[in-house]
Structure 1
């Protein structure tokens, strides 16, 4: 296979691109022209990188409607000013300070590999590039894991689901450590929400923070 010959995976993507050009780009040219002038999404969604859980598909939105950040387990780190590359923090800062989104929704999901790794600690001690980056990232869930393990152990559906729900709550707590987020929420200009979706039943649940329970939307 030469460099100019697409792999089967790339060919599949290119087929989709041509369908998009025919059915998405041309029929909605006016929408694309408007988006050239800038974006004004009202909602930021923080979701997992898992290929099975695409926020744009779940919420059936058009381009320009939601500002999305995806990473392992849909995690938000706490506010910190130490040197480093703070990708999630940078996106959050842009969404809140520049785009001035009105809502931030943290979207957890069923069968989350990141939450499972946090629960089982399967990658603990691995070297960077061999699982160590994942282990370091999901260590954000260590404190929440203790409560989950205490009640449910480390195996089974109940423990996994509890860990997935806990991940959403951790991200919401960490969002509130950002001064710009806390200030806008306090002024009523920003709303934070937790949500959970599982492909096993296709049902979206929203977090009731007063009770800590997730309820069908």
Structure 2
């Protein structure tokens, strides 16, 4: 592969620092994980956004979470049509092979993918309407959430759409037969969260009130 290049020097230095400290101090645990395989308690579906640091938010140890990241933390509906579906495959593996007890969808403030969807649905982002736009076609998953938005300013509606991304994903998760079966059997629970990056806040969806409440 001619186009591959050596790792940047600063990342090499960080790796050696990690190996000499974190790894060295916990070598037994890492060797245990390697030998025993992974047994995460929960799957977290979060956004690719570099500011969303799932393990830091929950103080998670290595091996605790099975994490899948994509644009705007979306889960597509169950559509086994022969195409490649990275998110659907991750959900299937987590639920049927790893037997996780929880699937958490984690949205966040200032989500660029959600904002792109909002602009596209408002007719202000024709580039995302192109069939060749991977981002646009992925954000089509969120169109039902946009259609449910109430009145308000653009900022208010974009913020509401971030939470709709969580709700759309939760609803789509239940369209997967193996997810639905596990939820109804009581072996799996679904959770919707929204993280305010700047304030460090975390809100959880409460189905009883159909709203997000501070954790």
Deviating beyond 4 angstroms after TM superposition, the runs of 4 or more aligned structure 1 residues are 3-7
Q: Distance in 2 between matches of 1:4 and 1:93?
A: 32
Q: Which moved more, 1:198-207 or 1:165-174?
A: 198-207
Taking structure 2 as the reference length, the TM-score comes to 0.91
Does 2:70 match 1:74?
A: no
The answer to whether the 8 Å contact 2:144/2:168 transfers is no
Query: 2:63 is paired with a residue of what secondary structure?
Result: coil
1:117-132 alignment, distance < 5 Å: 117-121=116-120, 122=125, 123-126=127-130, 128=132, 132=133
Give the match for residue 25 of structure 1: 23
Aligned counterpart, 2:151:
151
Cα distance in 2 between the residues matched to 1:40 and 1:107: 21
Give the whole-Å Cα distance in 2 for the aligned partners of 1:5 and 1:89: 32
User: Structure 1: which 5+ residue stretches go unaligned?
Assistant: none
Give the C-alpha shift of residue 139 in structure 1. Answer: 0.5
Deviates more, 1:79-88 or 1:170-179: 79-88
> Equivalents in 2 of 1:23, 1:59: separation in Å?
22
Map residues 122-201 of structure 1 onto 2, 5 A cutoff.
122=125, 123-126=127-130, 128=132, 132-148=133-149, 150-152=150-152, 155-156=154-155, 158-201=156-199
- Give the CA deviation at 1:15: 2.2
Correspondence for 1:57: 56
Q: Structure 2: how far apart are the matches of 1:209 and 1:24?
A: 40
Structure 1 residues 97-136: aligned runs within 5 Å: 97-121=96-120, 122=125, 123-126=127-130, 128=132, 132-136=133-137
Cα-to-partner distance string for 1:160-204 (whole Å, 9 max, x where unaligned)? 210000000000000000000000000110000000102110011
- RMSD value, Cα: 1.7
Q: Which runs of 5+ in 2 are unaligned?
A: none
SS of the aligned residue for 2:148 comes to helix
Mark the CA change 1:5 to 1:50 in structure 2 (over 3 Å): closer, same or farther: closer
